[in-house]
Structure 1
């Protein structure tokens, strides 16, 4: 199994999180004294410009970078011989210091366990506030005057407290969670136009802790036209022992199977093609289903490789998946109203780099006895929209 990685269980400073594939099992050995390389100097004046390697070109070559990374990985954990060369008395002292480090690791385990217990304790204290928020947002209750006055006092400009009117038939706060999600730059990247109609039925997002390290996110939906599930869940599991940095280490994630209603799967697109048999000249219509971008792919988490092989693309997706769970738990749920109003954006450190890859390209390989007719209809199931090939032949 690929090596797991430390992930802080509190707020993360950056927008990225380590994943089970980018941290070595052990640190490379370091000598006590740094020595200058003994390579003979090259007379640059006597070398022609064509003899110099193009370092920038090599750095941009994925094959070269991959080869270098592989060589470096092979060096991890290998001894330089320095430790073995130390006198026996020094090595005994070194073993004693390593024994102290084991005691330190035990205290780190206790420290993280107490932090987790404290988070659970305060989640129980937060929960009545979250329940009250859900009741107001979904139109099951109206805020008390005291709550309204507190909210007004938090504004930079004090507003006149509005009074309800008899013709005010709107219940709750429509599209509360959808708006909050779209105002979070990272989470908004998950949402496509076709997802929005389904997310309008999202009534609450909750977090739960376990007896063992880990947490679960519950997404509650009212009845909708897309799927029959009332609650969709995403569960993140930690390892029992904390990692090298003293923080909990993610083990894996699990998600709910979504019971899509017929023709409403937002996570796939359907292509309809016509094929003509070269021998019989008969035509037939076939449909092929392909994965597509959707917020609901969040509930189908990726799994780490069952080997030590490094897959950069998978590594980035796992990194994003772990970070999304933290963002829901640490940012969106506690301060949902600030994300709805956009006030949270003032405190959010944004990264200008684009962390998302372009869509995967799927290629079809038709049967050898069949030829494609220039007529392709692409339909994303839940959208109700059909996209036709611009090169489609018009038949009279």
Structure 2
């Protein structure tokens, strides 16, 4: 339905033109002897290249400017064709134009179909919210279907049978911390939630979405009264560009989030830094406090703005943040909201494509390389000793439900 963030707005109905390649090789190693395959390992080659680029920022800038100037430039092949052939090429572009119109119609019909079924899903989401918040109890039929599903899932598992105490938990209202638990099991969201955030997210009573009149959607987070902010709902809206992209897909444009009305001293997106200062003349000391930004899930509602200056050095970083922000919105819309109960129980994790932990991408090393690997480990150990303050490695994701 949508595409990642484009760097520039382009004519969506025109296919990319074949590009030129540089006529001569970049002068990276003009004064260096080329090593043979047997004298250098791939890892060493990568380190050497990285070091060379780091030591020559002017060279990197020159290469980027050179390659950037080639983007969109014709290779000259089309212009060299006979007039009759170029006429046929123009005709095919006309055919493609008709195809693009049909693709746009297709995507529009898909969107309308999504909206049609979203209207059918909405009563189910409302029932879920009532059960989660203790406003109603599930019907006997709903419980029976759910228990049968559990039995089907556990057919191949040897789990000890436990006797249910029907009086246990009678004083518990709904399903406590339902959305917090579901979000902590959703990998991309779990990485954003800090320990401080959890206290506020325990007050989250529902997460839902709605489509806009224009291309886009709105995420709605509903909260009970809490000690952190006064908002009953906090929303974030994702807008698409009015014109469809190449292939008829909707292209993400930007997002807007609600302002959170934090209670005094409860803003989770900042932390207090204290610094002691001493007067050189009187020798008296004072403590100066200031607020500095800090990591928090609630930064999600303050999305980055698209870069205005494409020559800005920080534009690539902003583009990455925009793409991540858009993906988080899509994950909430397409994964969390439709299958919240599966994220709460952790069952949805088995359907996630955890590429980072795919064992099929790794191969066993030959025994003859053990000595070299041992030497590399020794070097890494020495490096670790010198960098005790580095960020710890991320552990494999696991279900937050016990």
The bucket for the TM-score relative to the shorter chain is: 0.7 to 0.9
TM-score for both structures, normalised by structure 1: 0.76
TM-score, normalised with respect to structure 2: 0.74
Residue pairs, 1:105-184, within 5 angstroms:
105-155=100-150, 156-157=153-154, 164-165=166-167, 168-184=170-186
Provide closer, same or farther for how the CA distance between residues 245 and 30 of structure 1 changes in structure 2, counting only shifts above 3 A. same
Structure 2 gap ranges (5+): 26-30, 36-43, 156-160, 358-402
Output the CA distance in 1 between the equivalents of 2:329 and 2:166: 38
Name the structure 2 match of 1:252. Answer: 254
Q: CA deviation at 1:55?
A: 5.7
> For the Cα contact (< 8 Å) 1:237–1:253, is it kept in 2?
yes
Q: Residue 51 of structure 1 corresponds to which residue in structure 2?
A: 33
Q: Paired residue for 2:353?
A: 349
User: Structure 1 residues 283, 38: CA separation in 2 closer, same or farther (over 3 Å shift)?
Assistant: closer
Give distance in 1, aligned partners of 2:147 and 2:9. Answer: 48
1:18 match: 4
Alignment equivalent of 2:295, drawn from 293, 315, 321: 293
3-state secondary structure, aligned to 1:154: helix
CA distance in 1 between counterparts of 2:215 and 2:273 reads 43
Aligned length: 329
SS in 2 for 1:249: strand
2:321 corresponds to 1:317: yes
The 1:29–1:143 alpha-carbon spacing in structure 2 relative to 1, beyond 3 Å, is same
In the superposition, relative to structure 1, how do residues 351 and 187 fare at CA in structure 2: closer, same or farther (>3 Å)?
farther
With 231-240 and 66-75 compared, the bigger mean Cα shift is at 66-75
Question: 2:19 touches 2:70 (CA, 8 Å); kept in 1?
Answer: no
Q: Structure 1, residues 196-249: CA drift from partner, whole Å, max 9, x if none?
A: 000000000001001211000000000000000011111100012221133110
> Which residue matches 1:269?
271
The corresponding residue for 1:240 is 242
Q: What is the CA deviation profile of residues 234-285 of structure 1, one whole-angstrom value per residue up to 9, with x for unaligned ones?
A: 1100012221133110010000100000000000011122223335544433
Query: Are the structure 2 counterparts of residues 325 and 66 from structure 1 closer, same or farther at C-alpha, using a change threshold of 3 Å?
Result: farther
Query: Where is the helix percentage greater, Structure 1 or Structure 2?
Result: 2
Where 1:84 maps in the other structure, the secondary structure is helix
Q: Which secondary structure state, in structure 2, belongs to the residue aligned with residue 322 of structure 1?
A: helix
> What is the Cα deviation at residue 161 of structure 1?
10
Q: Is residue 2:85 matched to residue 1:90?
A: yes
1:359 aligns with none
Aligned to 2:305: 303
Whether the aligned pair in 2 keeps the contact of 1:28 and 1:75 (CA below 8 Å) is no
State how far apart, in whole Å, the 2-side matches of 1:306 and 1:109 are.
Answer: 28
Over 3 Å counting, the alpha-carbon distance change for 1:59 and 1:85 in structure 2 is farther
Per-residue CA distance 1:37-77 (angstroms, 9 max, x = gap): 9989xxxxxxxx95227963225635455653442222111
CA distance, structure 1, for counterparts of residue 214 and residue 110 of structure 2: 13
In structure 1, runs of 5+ residues without a counterpart are: 1-7, 10-16, 41-48, 354-396
Q: Contact conserved, 1:120 with 1:209, CA < 8 A, in 2?
A: yes
Distance in 2, Cα, partners of 1:65 & 1:99: 41
Indicate if the aligned counterparts of 2:19 and 2:74 stay in contact, CA closer than 8 A. no
C-alpha distance in structure 2 between counterparts of 1:312 and 1:23, whole Å: 16
Q: Distance in 1 between matches of 2:106 and 2:75?
A: 34
In structure 2, the CA distance between the partners of 1:164 and 1:69, relative to structure 1 (3 Å rule), is: farther
Distance 1:177 1:261 in 2: 22
Distance in 1 separating the partners of 2:121 and 2:154: 27
Partner of 1:29: 18
Would you say the 8 A contact 1:270–1:289 is kept in 2?
Answer: yes
